[in-house]
Amino acid sequence: MPVAEAWAAWTAAARAAGCPSRLPVETVPVAEAVGRVTAAPVWASRSSPAFDSAAMDGIAVTATDTLGASESTPLLLPAGSFEVVDTGDPMPAGRDAVVMREDVHHVRDRDGRTTAAEVRAAVAPYHHVRSIGEDVSATELLLPEGHRLRPVDAAAVAASGGTHVVVRRRPVVAVIPTGDEIRPVGEPLAPGEIPDTNSLMLAAQAREAGCAALVHPVVRDEPALLSAAVREAAGSSDLVIVIAGSSAGRDDYTARVVAEVGELCVHGVAVRPGHPVVLGVVDATPVIGAPGYAVSAALTFEIFAAPLLAALQGAAPTRRPVARARLARKLASTVGSDDWVRVRLGRVGGALVATPLPRGAGVLTSLVRADGLLVVPTGVEGHHPGDEVDVELLRGLDAIERTIVAIGSHDMVLDLAASQLRAVDPMLTLASSNVGSLGGLVALRDGLCHVAGSHLLDPETGSYTTPYVERVLAGEDVAVIRLVHRTQGLLVAPGNPLGLSGVADLVGSGVRYVNRQRGAGTRVLLDTLLAAAGLDPADVSGYGREEHTHLAVAAAVASGRADTGLGIQAAARAFGLDFVPVADEPYDLVARAADVEGVLAPLVALLGEPAFRTAIGALGGYSTSETGLRVR
Amino acid sequence: MPVAEAWAAWTAAARAAGCPSRLPVETVPVAEAVGRVTAAPVWASRSSPAFDSAAMDGIAVTATDTLGASESTPLLLPAGSFEVVDTGDPMPAGRDAVVMREDVHHVRDRDGRTTAAEVRAAVAPYHHVRSIGEDVSATELLLPEGHRLRPVDAAAVAASGGTHVVVRRRPVVAVIPTGDEIRPVGEPLAPGEIPDTNSLMLAAQAREAGCAALVHPVVRDEPALLSAAVREAAGSSDLVIVIAGSSAGRDDYTARVVAEVGELCVHGVAVRPGHPVVLGVVDATPVIGAPGYAVSAALTFEIFAAPLLAALQGAAPTRRPVARARLARKLASTVGSDDWVRVRLGRVGGALVATPLPRGAGVLTSLVRADGLLVVPTGVEGHHPGDEVDVELLRGLDAIERTIVAIGSHDMVLDLAASQLRAVDPMLTLASSNVGSLGGLVALRDGLCHVAGSHLLDPETGSYTTPYVERVLAGEDVAVIRLVHRTQGLLVAPGNPLGLSGVADLVGSGVRYVNRQRGAGTRVLLDTLLAAAGLDPADVSGYGREEHTHLAVAAAVASGRADTGLGIQAAARAFGLDFVPVADEPYDLVARAADVEGVLAPLVALLGEPAFRTAIGALGGYSTSETGLRVR
């Protein structure tokens, strides 16, 4: 069902079941009203200022008394014809202007008492007088209904005589996690168990939306228990969100329970991620069954919970600013759904460039790392590289403008650099996307990144990176800067059960290898090592099986899907694997020469810092002997 | 002193005095970390998912067993060669793919036990399997230092094994209100006293910036008391803000106290409003002396407190989105200061139009009503009408796009309409600027507003509005819709002490009149009434004294600066004045005909609603007999 249709069906059913369209009102002291939404217009009950007052420090006078006074022809006002006033003081009766302090010389007697004032400027009536009601007049409309109070609003209400504000009650959101395998965050996990991160996230989203959030203990997979929990939550909240673990089977089960104890309105919406959402009403309370995949759960809140909670408060929903960006690569989309694509953004060569992040509903880090959301609506098949698209911004454009966009081979040292750059300058981001070394050079050529990480070995010359740069970026002024030397090796199960010692062991042995994709430096390295040993890749079992990162290779070995793969030591450590070193290689940063002193300057400076080199050393498997060396 | 120079002097002095550049760290449970700023990078300690798992409901199989299976040639897998799995379940040992539920038919024995599975689709290895580390791999960088945690970040930290996060301590801001005339909000006010709205506002601004705020009781104007309060606050907070009442004299006094008990760095900054700001350091704690005018105080927080508090947390300062807008009218600016101009925004005829709001430092409602801030930097004399300017957005562009921009004569009924429109649709805003009837028609002609409120009487024809429309908007397709009939009258002090009964009493009587500006409908009405009575405006004392709104005229009478002025009954009520009716007039809405069914449709619909007419009647001084009538 399309999102708009699902929303209409759900809200209509809620209305029919007696759910309020707006929450009840309550009256709160103005100091506690910030963040709340007005339930009635606020009219000023007092003018501000409430009296004519001095707008400057000086003396209050009758304007006509100062006629003709000037710097060169000062005029003496006798005591009794003026009063000393400070800014904000009420104007004394009969005075209609203020001569500012700088234009007054007080004439004093021997005891220091002012006997007269020498005035060096004439003033017109009402000069330097702040008029009653200058800010707001009693009975004026100060705030309309449906306005979320900010600090300035609360101050203005108080200034115009308000001590309390009539606001909507804060919505209460009940979050019910379900699933036998779900454990509270922080509790130890048995194999197959999952921490209850969705409750934490949804409750925090609800609080950000100005609501109170109640998190129910995890409900085991028993319909009777869930029915009871939903009914109890419906009785004490304005919106119930049931989190269906990560099981689609369990989504059905949430739908069944909602249908049994209330009304099931929608099961399945044309949006990805988030497709299997459940919408219903129980005991005159709207209920959402959120899919268990984290991205789905987060987007379900955005798409269905947030607008409902805004409507209950009578407030405008929060919308993000939108920017136009150029798409870095082809983006396919399911025609039958709204596709919510997470993208990284950066300003490269004058254009804002959007690079899609992994699309999986379970890849929460794609949302963590996203700078924006790109919605490809139902009916659109996708976009071509270079297409202009509208992106909802998750970070400020000013921070995005200062993002160093890295596309290419991945290395942990880039992560380390990202963190150290940010620690020094909170506005600075180094954002890496991993597409392999060759992909990085192509992205650099196409103006999609500032820097490409590369470790491509040229078998003919035996040298790294530069031969490829000359091919892919021919004729361009390109710099190559050495980041590190690192050790590549075979990632093997703990204890190296097959006793592998080098690439020769991969051939004809039945060892299940897992390879990297075409264009990855590590694959080029394997090919070169095999060729040097006179071995045929066709004899390597699993040569055709491709993973796209060191970590994915390590994961395959760790899960027993493969016996070994080539990768860096950090990847072995990530998955508790053993590591058989087979080669040492340089890992370089490739960039346009003009950017080295420009957008990349902070990164280049970092390479020279001893503390950074020490931190690299601590990772293991790296040498910094040539770190920062300009190779080209 | 320029803002940047003041900032540099202040932060350097703070550093020299031993203020920390970053706050100390603390470790908090991940569920409480949302909104806090990381003080160290967060690395994943656990892969997520932590095991290969089923990505769909179905059966886990060995992929090669399914070779050749299809819809038309199903294949039977015997019991023991597959396991039933739900999404998220760990993959059973030896299985490497999942056949989704829809493609499986379970063959059962008489007891309902599955004896075999009929498989209708072949699967490749790792099909529908979610790989260990798909979301995040152990040891990966999850969040850099200096990152403010959002709900998704906290969930990702928990998913990758984090139970606690190392964050900066929340900054503590101490707010010290000063001034003998300042009273806590809600306490009764004696004449000349002012409610302490600045503390309320600054504390709320600090809380919005992620800080704890401590508000000190109001300190009387005694240096010793202020010294003691500042030292005490410096000892228990990370930033002290002293609010200097509204007295510039008192600003000096804050500066003196800061110089005595600590170091005074800056007194006076080239920014308007906010010029008399004080910056210093006391006991290794930064101190701000904020000017007492509300807009100055709010901007001082933005310009000096907010970036300092962000820096102490190691976080990027919050910046607002910026939009380009066309300036509706000439804007003069002081060359020697950064001028912070509050503007209203609206989309008129395709362009985003910015209309400057009142500039006074004490006009807090200008900040309440502002859609954006326009900074005219030092060295720039101002802007011409139609200039393109950058505006920092205080409201979302989506809400601004739905704003009905009204410029012209002001009437309370427009306020009432604004509130009722918002109550129905929280995204809808009716924004009024008051420039008088003729100014409104000119603004409409120039494409600066959607609708102009007008009550211009043509002395020659005796008819209202349309003759002016034909002159100012000649040749355009313009609609005129009657809003109300209303009574104009003389606003007089309570009890009508001078016994005024009509405009004839204004002539030769010594009565001090206060007039409206040229182009105001009320001034045209006075001129017409005088002419009809054969009277000479030159004989009206105060005819040349101009105020720009009904309310300003009423304020002048209420403060005794004038004896009377012509205005509407609502203005009399606002200031507790008496009202002597002298004429009945129609008040019309003028708009481009095309907009009547477009952007103005909700307003036009409102005019037809009985509840709205009843509410107008309750204001007093209005008739709704022709409300909604299309006059032209």
- Using CA coordinates, name the residue in chain B closest to A411: B140
Structural domain for A454, as ranges: 437-623
Record: contact A426-B316, CB cut-off 8 A: yes
Dist. CA A293–CA A247, nearest whole Å: 9
Cβ atoms of A504 and A533 closer than 8 Å: yes
Asked whether the predicted pLDDT for residue B464 surpasses 70, the reply is yes
State residue A270 phi and psi, 5-degree precision: -80, 70
Q: Tokens at residue B28, please?
A: 């908090």
Asked whether the predicted pLDDT for residue A338 surpasses 50, the reply is yes
Looking at the domain assignment, is residue A421 inside a domain?
no
Contacts with B142 from chain A: Cβ below 8 Å: 365, 368
Record: contact A551-B137, CB cut-off 8 A: yes
Looking at the domain assignment, is residue B395 inside a domain?
no
Which residues, 6 or more positions from A471, have their beta carbon under 8 angstroms from its beta carbon? none
Among B83, B196, B197, the strongest candidate for a mutation testing the A interface, having the largest count of A CBs within 10 A, is: B197
* Cα dihedral B551/B554/B555/B559 (nearest 10): 180
pLDDT at residue A237, as a whole number: 98
Domain CATH code at residue B225: 3.40.980.10
- Using CA coordinates, name the residue in chain B closest to A414: B141
pLDDT at residue B246, as a whole number: 46
One domain, residues A262 and A145: no
Looking at the domain assignment, is residue A428 inside a domain?
no
Number of neighbours of residue A527 by Cβ within 10 angstroms: 16
Which pLDDT band, with edges at 50, 70 and 90, does A561 fall under?
A: confident
From the list B306, B214, B239, the residue with the least C-alpha distance to B23 is: B239
Dist. CA B594–CA B47, nearest whole Å: 60
One domain, residues B87 and B119: yes
Domain boundary, last residue among B130, B158, B184 = B130
Cβ atoms of A158 and A165 closer than 8 Å: no
The verdict on B246 touching A (C-beta cutoff 8 Å) is yes
Nearest-Å Rg of the Cα atoms of chain A is 34
Dist. CA B281–CA A149, nearest whole Å: 33
The verdict on A156 touching B (C-beta cutoff 8 Å) is yes
Domain CATH code at residue A553: 3.40.190.290
Contacts with B311 from chain A: Cβ below 8 Å: 426
Asked whether the predicted pLDDT for residue A250 surpasses 60, the reply is no
- Using CA coordinates, name the residue in chain B closest to A399: B316
Contacts with A90 from chain B: Cβ below 8 Å: 191-192
One domain, residues A466 and A605: yes
Contacts with B89 from chain A: Cβ below 8 Å: 181, 192, 247
Query: Of A205-209, B278-282, B431-435, which range is least confident?
Result: B431-435
Q: Do you find a cis peptide bond into B286, omega within 30 degrees of 0?
A: no
Q: Tokens at residue B519, please?
A: 């182009």
**Averaged confidence pLDDT in chain B:** 92
One domain, residues A37 and A63: no
Record: contact B134-A393, CB cut-off 8 A: no
- Using CA coordinates, name the residue in chain B closest to A205: B151
- Work out how many CB contacts closer than 8 A connect A with B: 369
The CA-atom distances, in angstroms, between A53 and each of A133, A194, A222, B194, B562 are 11, 66, 71, 11, 16
Q: Tokens at residue B596, please?
A: 């009547």
Which pLDDT band, with edges at 50, 70 and 90, does A245 fall under?
A: low
Nearest-by-Cβ selection for B248 from A49, A87, A146: A87
pLDDT at residue A247, as a whole number: 53
Query: Of A112-116, A160-164, A200-204, A429-433, which range is least confident?
Result: A112-116
Q: Give me the residues of B, 367-406, that contact A with CB < 8 A.
A: 367-368, 393, 396-399
pLDDT at residue A234, as a whole number: 97
Q: What is the DSSP string of A115-150?
A: EEEEE-S---TTTTEEPTTSSB-TT-EEE-TT-BPP
Which pLDDT band, with edges at 50, 70 and 90, does A246 fall under?
A: very low
Mean pLDDT of A187-206: 94
The verdict on B33 touching A (C-beta cutoff 8 Å) is no
Q: Is A528 helix (H, G, I), strand (E, B) or coil?
A: helix
Asked whether the predicted pLDDT for residue B247 surpasses 60, the reply is no
One domain, residues B273 and B291: yes
Q: How many domains does chain B have?
A: 4
pLDDT at residue B251, as a whole number: 56
The verdict on B602 touching A (C-beta cutoff 8 Å) is no
The verdict on A364 touching B (C-beta cutoff 8 Å) is yes
Q: Do you find a cis peptide bond into A49, omega within 30 degrees of 0?
A: yes
Record: contact A561-B52, CB cut-off 8 A: yes
The verdict on A21 touching B (C-beta cutoff 8 Å) is no
pLDDT at residue A488, as a whole number: 95
Cβ atoms of B243 and B202 closer than 8 Å: yes
Choose between A5 and A246: higher pLDDT.
A5
Record: contact A398-B364, CB cut-off 8 A: no
Nearest-Å Rg of the Cα atoms of chain B is 34
Asked whether the predicted pLDDT for residue B194 surpasses 50, the reply is yes
pLDDT at residue B245, as a whole number: 57
From the list B596, B624, B619, the residue with the least C-alpha distance to B609 is: B624
The verdict on A561 touching B (C-beta cutoff 8 Å) is yes
State residue A295 phi and psi, 5-degree precision: -65, -40
Looking at the domain assignment, is residue B474 inside a domain?
yes
Q: Tokens at residue B29, please?
A: 């449970």
One domain, residues A305 and A209: yes
From the list B71, B87, B78, B148, the residue with the least C-alpha distance to B117 is: B78
The verdict on B89 touching A (C-beta cutoff 8 Å) is yes
pLDDT at residue A113, as a whole number: 83
Which secondary structure element, helix H or strand E, spans residue B453, and what is its range? strand B451-454
Domain boundary, last residue among B283, B313, B343 = B313
Asked whether the predicted pLDDT for residue B291 surpasses 50, the reply is yes
Record: contact B552-A156, CB cut-off 8 A: no
One domain, residues B308 and B191: yes
**Averaged confidence pLDDT in chain A:** 92
Q: Tokens at residue A32, please?
A: 């506690």
DSSP for residue A521: H
Among B53, B141, B241, B365, the strongest candidate for a mutation testing the A interface, having the largest count of A CBs within 10 A, is: B365
Which pLDDT band, with edges at 50, 70 and 90, does B206 fall under?
A: very high
Domain CATH code at residue A42: 3.90.105.10
Mean pLDDT of A511-527: 93
Cβ atoms of A328 and A355 closer than 8 Å: yes
Mean pLDDT of A46-63: 90
The verdict on A310 touching B (C-beta cutoff 8 Å) is yes
Record: contact A57-B249, CB cut-off 8 A: yes
Nearest CA distance, A143 vs chain B (angstrom) = 8
Number of neighbours of residue A503 by Cβ within 10 angstroms: 23
Looking at the domain assignment, is residue A422 inside a domain?
no
Mean pLDDT of B597-621: 93
Which residues, 6 or more positions from B492, have their beta carbon under 8 angstroms from its beta carbon? B498, B500, B557, B563, B564, B577, B578, B579, B580
- Here the ipTM equals 0.91
Asked whether the predicted pLDDT for residue B19 surpasses 90, the reply is yes
Record: contact B152-A364, CB cut-off 8 A: yes
Asked whether the predicted pLDDT for residue A484 surpasses 50, the reply is yes
Nearest-by-Cβ selection for B86 from A49, A158, A247: A247
Q: Give me the residues of A, 94-153, that contact B with CB < 8 A.
A: 96, 125-126, 130-147, 150-153
Domain CATH code at residue A91: 2.170.190.11
Contacts with B616 from chain A: Cβ below 8 Å: none
Asked whether the predicted pLDDT for residue A122 surpasses 50, the reply is yes
Task: Label the pairing between strands A338-348 and A271-272.
Answer: parallel
Nearest CA distance, A430 vs chain B (angstrom) = 10
One domain, residues B103 and B155: no
One domain, residues B88 and B160: no
Number of neighbours of residue B109 by Cβ within 10 angstroms: 10
Contacts with B426 from chain A: Cβ below 8 Å: 146, 310-311, 314-317
B588-606 residue pLDDT tens: 999 999 999 999 999 999 9
Among A559, A569, A579, the strongest candidate for a mutation testing the B interface, having the largest count of B CBs within 10 A, is: A559
pLDDT at residue A510, as a whole number: 86
Task: Label the pairing between strands A278-282 and A263-267.
Answer: antiparallel
Looking at the domain assignment, is residue A409 inside a domain?
no
Nearest CA distance, A536 vs chain B (angstrom) = 24
Asked whether the predicted pLDDT for residue A249 surpasses 70, the reply is no
Contacts with A402 from chain B: Cβ below 8 Å: none
From the list A124, A106, A125, the residue with the least C-alpha distance to A116 is: A106
The verdict on B491 touching A (C-beta cutoff 8 Å) is no
The verdict on A171 touching B (C-beta cutoff 8 Å) is no
Record: contact B418-A86, CB cut-off 8 A: no
Contacts with B189 from chain A: Cβ below 8 Å: 50
Question: In Å, how far from its chain's centre is CA A521?
Answer: 32
B147-189 residue pLDDT tens: 999 999 999 999 999 999 999 999 999 999 999 889 999 999 9
Nearest-by-Cβ selection for B34 from A96, A204, A393: A204
Extended strands (E) in A455-577: 478-492, 513-516, 546-547, 564-568
**C-alpha torsion sign, points A31, A34, A40, A44:** positive
> pLDDT > 90: what percent of chain A?
75
Q: What is the DSSP string of A303-343?
A: IIIHHHHHHHTT-PPP---EEEEEESS-EE--TTSEEEEEE
Asked whether the predicted pLDDT for residue B329 surpasses 90, the reply is no
Which pLDDT band, with edges at 50, 70 and 90, does A73 fall under?
A: very high
Record: contact A250-B41, CB cut-off 8 A: no
A289-313 residue pLDDT tens: 999 899 999 999 999 999 999 999 9
The verdict on A412 touching B (C-beta cutoff 8 Å) is yes
One domain, residues A474 and A611: yes
Looking at the domain assignment, is residue A412 inside a domain?
no
pLDDT at residue A307, as a whole number: 96
pLDDT at residue A541, as a whole number: 92
One domain, residues A582 and A500: yes
pTM of the model: 0.91
The verdict on B316 touching A (C-beta cutoff 8 Å) is yes
Dist. CA A200–CA A218, nearest whole Å: 12
Q: Which amino acid is at A85?
A: V
Q: What is the DSSP string of B496-539?
A: -TT---SGGGGBSS---EEEEPTT-HHHHHHHHHHHHTT--GGG
Q: Tokens at residue B432, please?
A: 């009024």
Contacts with B576 from chain A: Cβ below 8 Å: 138
One domain, residues A233 and A351: no
Which secondary structure element, helix H or strand E, spans residue B491, and what is its range? strand B478-492
pLDDT at residue A109, as a whole number: 86
Looking at the domain assignment, is residue B376 inside a domain?
no
HEC per residue, B335-403: CCCEEEEEEEEEEECCEEEEEECCCCCCCHHHHHHCCEEEEECCCCCEECCCCEEEEEECCCHHHHHCE
Domain boundary, last residue among A122, A148, A168 = A168
pLDDT at residue B410, as a whole number: 84
Contacts with B317 from chain A: Cβ below 8 Å: 426-427
